[in-house]
Amino acid sequence: MKRFKNILVIGSHTEATKNILERALVLAEENGARLTVLEVVAGLPKGLHAQALHMSAFEFNAIFAREREKQLCHEISAIIDNRRAVEVRVLIGKPFIEIIKAVLRHQYDLVMMTAEGLEGVRGKLFSSTALHLMRKCPCPVWAMKPTQIQSFNGILAAVDPDPSDDAKQTLNIKIMDLATSLAQREQSKLHIVHAWSHVREHYFGYSGMSEKQRKQLTYELQMQRRSQLIDLVSRYAHMNLDTQVHFLEDEPGLAIPKLADLLHTELIVMGTVCRTGLPGLIIGNTAEEVLRQVDCSVLAVKPEGFVSPVLLTEA
């Protein structure tokens, strides 16, 4: 999986951070990638004037960040055991904003973190920080289930093949590239799913078509989408992976979580953004539905040309 050259791991005071750092180390070694561990803490409000400090909140935050960075370096060194040089940073501020600004500033090409939500409660696996990053971070975000330690036994790639939409098709290829590389590396079974909902049937009734014509058109649309899915998957036939393709006739936001649960999927690779250039439309309804329901790790991929609504100049 030699696709990343500058990996950012989000650290925290949890055992799960050790697990994801171990995985990041292996990935960095395989890719010859730089590896940075970043922790973001809230700190004191910038405008605070407290007599007890004998200094400004800004000065206190700077001192705290330096001391926490030393402590974090010590914690990290016990894990990495001199296997690879790891840069450590501690920033003060709102976590998702500071993480995205760090990605923009240092050109990280993968963010790895623990989901750190309320595991086991449906729809509560992912923390608000993880969800914000999946929506707004310009590079792929790998949010890992806290209990995930061993290799992934089941990987699910969710695609939406449509050769008429260049941006969507490019995103499909990015999803497949990552999913196939991971499946090969982890020696995992790869499930590829496309959930197709023939919502167009709702409009057919206004067209004056007969029931027979509507059924024929629906069938032709279905066959076309099946063919497009097969064409996409066939690009990766040379990898000789253990692959199963699923074509589901249902709403994607419902079908994908159901399939993931049925297959005991441990990782979903999916696109989370449906449009670029419009900050208010930065995550698709399907992705939101899936993320609310799944109970596994997710690798979230953005389309080419995606621009984060978070700016380096943002406070």
Closest CA to 184 of 233, 232, 236, 113: 236
**pLDDT for residue 36:** 95
Q: Looking at domain 1-146, which of 3.30.365.10, 3.40.50.2300, 3.40.50.620, 3.40.50.1000 is its CATH number?
A: 3.40.50.620
**pLDDT for residue 181:** 93
Same fold, 1-146 and 150-315: yes
Q: How far, in Å, CA of 112 to CA of 301, rounded?
A: 12
HSE-CB of 312 using CA atoms within 13 angstroms: 6
Domain definitions of the chain by residue range: 1-146, 150-315
**pLDDT for residue 315:** 56
Q: How far, in Å, CA of 282 to CA of 37, rounded?
A: 27
Structure tokens that stand for 153 in this block: 């036994």
Is residue 111 classed as helix, strand or coil in its secondary structure? strand
Note down pLDDT in tens along the chain; length 315 residues.
568 999 999 987 666 678 888 889 989 998 999 999 999 988 777 666 666 677 788 888 888 899 989 988 888 888 877 778 899 999 999 999 999 999 999 999 999 998 875 444 444 567 888 888 988 999 999 998 877 666 788 999 999 998 888 888 999 999 999 999 999 988 899 999 999 876 555 556 556 677 788 788 888 888 999 999 999 999 999 999 999 999 998 888 889 999 999 999 999 999 986 554 444 334 456 787 888 888 889 999 988 888 888 888 765
**pLDDT for residue 125:** 64
Q: CB 103: neighbour CB atoms within 10 A?
A: 24
Torsion sign (Cα): 97, 102, 108, 110: negative
**pLDDT for residue 44:** 74
Q: Where are the alpha helices (DSSP H) in the chain?
A: 15-31, 57-80, 95-106, 128-136, 166-186, 201-204, 211-234, 252-262, 285-293
**pLDDT for residue 163:** 84
Burial environment of residue 121 by CB neighbours within 10 A (0 to 12, 13 to 18, 19 or more) = exposed
Could you tell me how many helices (H) and strands (E) the chain has, helices first? 9, 10
CATH number of 150-315: 3.40.50.12370
